[in-house]
Structure 1
Amino acid sequence: MVMDVKYLVLITFCYVVGRIQGSLTSKCFPYKSGLVFVTEGEHVRLTCNLYNAFTPLDMSNLQAHRLNISWFKHTSEGGHKKLLGEAGRITYEGTSLGFWPAFVNDTGNYTCSVFNRTYNVSSAGTSLNVHRNEGLCSDCFFSRTESVGKSIRLSCPKLKDYNSKEDNIIWMKDCKDKVHTGNAYTILKVEEKSAGYYSCVLTVGKDGVQYNVTRTIKLKTKGYVERFIPKLVYPGRKEQIEVELGDKREIECKAVLGYKNNLFCMLYWRYKNRFFEINGTVYEGPVRNVSEGNRIYMIRPLVFKGVKAEHLNEPFTCALDCPETNLNGNITLLEKGKHDTSLIFLLLFTTLAVIIIVAVVYVRFKIDFVLCFRDLTSRDETLQDGKEYDAYVLLLKSNEALISAEGETFALKLLPAILEQKFGYRLCIYERDVLPGAASASEILSYINKSRTLIIILCAECMANDSSTYGLMTGLHQALVERLIKPILIEYLPIRDITLLPQSLQLILKSDRSVKWTNESLSQNSYFWKKIRYLMPAKYTKTAGWS
């Protein structure tokens, strides 16, 4: 008997809590406590109001504590009819009463009763309204309003009593367009056309028959108003003003508050982290609000009765304090004509130093930069120009046999070994490629015309060969006068007296198109070969590189 009284008190407490909770959550018409709407032909469940998420006693404990539940439908005559809840169209499902499916004549008021041998507690009534499907999806809905431009997630409401899966919930818009399958539907960016009725349809089965459970959300849209954060318009972080001693000045601090006045914002001045006295030589003027366009601005002046020397070169700070932000701006007074110009000189000096450094680096490594760029871009200047050779090699021999032999070794072996075999250039070497007896003036001119550059190997101040002299004169005339070919002058052996050379050779020797052979030039990565490649036309070859 004591145990029965204990559970009777517990059930009564649950009943009271259930009624209170029902009133607190009754925000969504028509899906609210005590009133349930459903379309005819769909499945619906009525939950006993004695039990909800805040109840410490679960329905599974009823049988263990010898408690039973019954459901009743009130009749029009004022009585009530007990629903047996056996296997069939209307069933007991834990704390719920299930309809498989609901019909119009199921409309009415329902109550549940929990009892044992001694006590019987009834719930508050639940009204079930079953309406016919007339092709409308706005008879019952949850209302939701969102701003245009936002991203939202629509969840299918009031399905906690169902074991739903992602693939058995279908979302429809305005009862006709299928837009999604899953528990929730995401709209990445709400637009005005996004407004409408969104129905989520859950399919549940019983005895091999499929029934629908539908929930509808009516989505309304409204214009998106961006939240405005107040900003300090003037002064900036470091403002400077030129003044004369004794000047009367009024400097305004200005802040924009937004689309309407912000009563929680303060605008004030500080000097050396101190506030200003009302009767001082420098004081704050009254705050005023002005409207410009569709924005509200707050303005507060700082008034100088007369600028003194102690006011110079020290920052005056204007502070904007709002719940959303805290900003500071500073003003420094400089005496006219005497302000510090060291920063300007420092900036100019730094700029000049950077320019000089960049220029020196470029001049020092110009050839390396150009060759690297050619290799990276696979640039080739030898395509479709009609030329047969990349260079015509002309060796100016000396009267001394030893010197001439060294020059011929360089021209016939070392030069083609590097330029032809390593870097893919094609050379026309007079001593190697011009057939004996074919060295006529016209033949030499023909070979020069077929070449892109003219390489002149200079071994001494004088020439002993008439053919080389003619080739030299012809090539120099085309290079210097007609500008049909670019010259490259290689000083293979040091020139003792350049005045003994023809004037045209002296000009090239003094130009940037000459290169001198040294003992360090044996390495193909030496400056000598890099400059030869730099002066030669760009030519793409897989073997070109620095190794």
Structure 2
Amino acid sequence: MLRLLTCTLHILTVMCLSLAEVCIDEGVEFDFEYASVGEPLYAVCPLYNFLDSNNFNVTWIRNDTQAEITSDTNARVHQDQNFLKFIPAALDDSGSYQCIFRNSTMCIKKIRRVVVFNYDDGLCYNHSIKFRSEITLTTSLTIECPFLDNYGNYWKIPVKWFKECEPLDLDSGHYGTAPKALIVKNLSTEDSGNYTCEVPFIYNGVTYKLSRTMEHTILDLEKDPEPVMLYPKNDIIEVELGTPITLSCRALFNGSTLLFWTFNESLISDYAGEDRVITGDPVETVTEDGLLHFIDLNFTKVLEEDYNRKFYCHMFYTTKSIKFYVTIKKPDPNLQGVLIAVFLSLFLVIVIAIITIRIFKVDIVLWYRSSCLAKRASNDGKMYDAYVIYPKKFSGTSSYEMDIFVLKVLPEVLEKQCAYQLFILGRDDLPGQALMDLVDETISQSRRVIIVLGNMFCVDESDFEQKIAMYDALIRNKIKVILIEIEKITDYTTVPESIKYIKQKQGVVRWKGEFTEDALSPNTRFWKNIRYQMPPAHRYSDSELHYIHSED
């Protein structure tokens, strides 16, 4: 029984101790403690102002290693009740430190952040870590060397003052001093700049220095221009879904200002739970137009939820503020590719159509003439579709083959099968008619002239016919000539110049077939070319087939 009671008491004791060690976590203190490398730093516990430290034990722990800071005052880093002391500070001292207040009934902790920095190259301060203020132009300015009270009696007067890291001439009359302060007299905008104070600090017989840098901007409200927001200006931009984008808020203002991005009156950090949308650090740079302030808003990728939303860039300066927004929009469909495809297809169709027409031009024209779409030719008053001229007396091609082609083949195909009306001298003329008048008048009553060529020519009535036909074709431009070779002519020296000219201009149709039944089909290539050059077929009435002259 005694053993059971002892075990129970032990368990209750352990549980009570465990409950006592559960600390209330107050989170992270907003402000940092700063010091440059080699300077002393006293970091104050952020709980000091809220609790009576006499009733608590104070413990400092480095957050990343969970190592408790020693209380040995000879150690470079040690704790002294409410203070965490770095004598001096080193670069690797930067980090988070837990200040824990503990007594028998309560435990509470809060994190203090410490930043140890190096000076910028060639300067006595770090540009990103300094105190900033804007002052309206007055008669004088008092600049205090801040945050020295925590160092007790270890700092001494006088304080050394610098502007842009150059020592100030305190005897010039433009400057005066007070305890821990610099007085700038006859203030002007030229007194704007970076002021640094240095105070000697003695610890365990070793002299250190404490330095603070303040950037003061003197504003002449009558002269300084109003800030100009360069971007955004209530803009709308188009961004593809899933692509990254950076929005840069840029403003010109010759003074200190605060730039930040918001959405729905909330900071961007509340917009996306993940690190998809983040803001960069504010940056200042000197340009020809003045001091440029900018801060970026970075999207690792744009999602559907980002479209048609307004992201505001706010700018606070002196006692005023302005804001502008940018809206992300889904881009309109890209019709460029479609238009290119359409025009390319149209171009290919046109090219193919041109090639097709050039290759099948004859077949297309003949099909159109035979279709119901073709307009019927009006009566032009002419009696014959073609006047046929051929040599009657020649050597080379046999007279028999020439006669067969002209008197049998041509009429068989063109007249009987294609409904054309031909005039052939020696077949259609009447005895006793004057040759000159007959030829001239009959050619004028014909729509085409067909000249059949052989290898050899001679002077006969066909030469007379050719001259009249060439006169009408070349001089009067009244009639079209169709040249047919019943065999390939190897020597054109005996051919009249007028026929050479027409051959060069429009070419000839060469007969390559034999006098067979297949060669008499109007659908062969030879006859298609002849029909293509002939006028549209026209059926004549019986009265039109009588010869036009009977007056002798």
TM-score by length of structure 1 reads 0.38
Structure of greater Rg:
2
TM-score by length of structure 2 reads 0.37
